[in-house]
Amino acid sequence: METFREPTLDDGAGVWTLIKETGVLDLNSSYSYLMWCSVFSDTSVVVEADGQIVGFISGFIKPASPDKLFIWQVAVDGEQRGKGLASKMLHHILERDICENVRYVEATVSPSNTPSRKLFNGLARSLDTNIEVSDCFTAEDFPEEGHEDELMHLIGPFK
């Protein structure tokens, strides 16, 4: 049985391990996950199953656009994929009081990441709203070789 909840500082190490094990997400510093799990917990979520962190989303409400929830990293443990966990995590955050005035979700997605594209298209469908895709970060913006473009996906308005 899975539990969906706000992360706490104690989840930071488990989240770092989960992100590392995806093998495809940019692994940020362990410090950044400790910070995220304590400072941005009310717009982020973890899923816990049998004492393990099996799902995580880092999100924040954009300071200059308080009606936009930016979703940064989404990760589900390999064994738990395809069961709707990522979709449920997105809805879990959106249902919180802090998202009362949120009318849009933003996320960047690499063109080759089909599961991620389908996740955000599915979110737009379930919220009965539009999804608009535009350029965001290009491969040339990244300092290291081999990083794909990141396309902005704007979902909404849904209120």
Measured from the CB atom, is 18 or 99 closer to ligand COA?
18
Half-sphere exposure of 114 (CA within 13 A, CB side): 1
For residues 117 to 156, the per-residue mask of contacts with ligand COA, x marking binding by CB under 6 A and - elsewhere, is: -xx--x----------------------------------
Does the footprint of ligand COA cover residue 111 (CB under 6 A)?
no
What CA–CA distance (Å, rounded) separates 102 from 45? 16
Q: Give every strand in the sheet of 3-5, ordered side by side.
A: 3-5, 45-49, 52-62, 65-76, 104-109, 150-155, 131-137
Amino acid at 140: E
| Stretch 5-34 residues interacting with ligand COA (CB under 6 A) | 22, 24-25
Applying CB under 6 A, the span of 44-52, 61-69, 74-82, 151-159 interacting with ligand COA comes to 74-82
Measured from the CB atom, is 100 or 134 closer to ligand COA?
134
Closest CA to 43 of 107, 124, 135: 107
**Cα 123 to Cα 23, 34, 119, 139, 153, distances in angstroms:** 24, 28, 6, 26, 11
Does the footprint of ligand COA cover residue 66 (CB under 6 A)?
no
Does the footprint of ligand COA cover residue 84 (CB under 6 A)?
yes
Does the footprint of ligand COA cover residue 105 (CB under 6 A)?
no
Q: Which of 17, 28, 30, 87 binds ligand COA (CB under 6 A)?
A: 87
Measured from the CB atom, is 52 or 114 closer to ligand COA?
114
The structure tokens listed for 79 are 């064994």
Closest CA to 102 of 132, 68, 77: 68
Binding site for ligand COA (CB under 6 A): 22, 24-25, 73-76, 81-87, 113-116, 118-119, 122
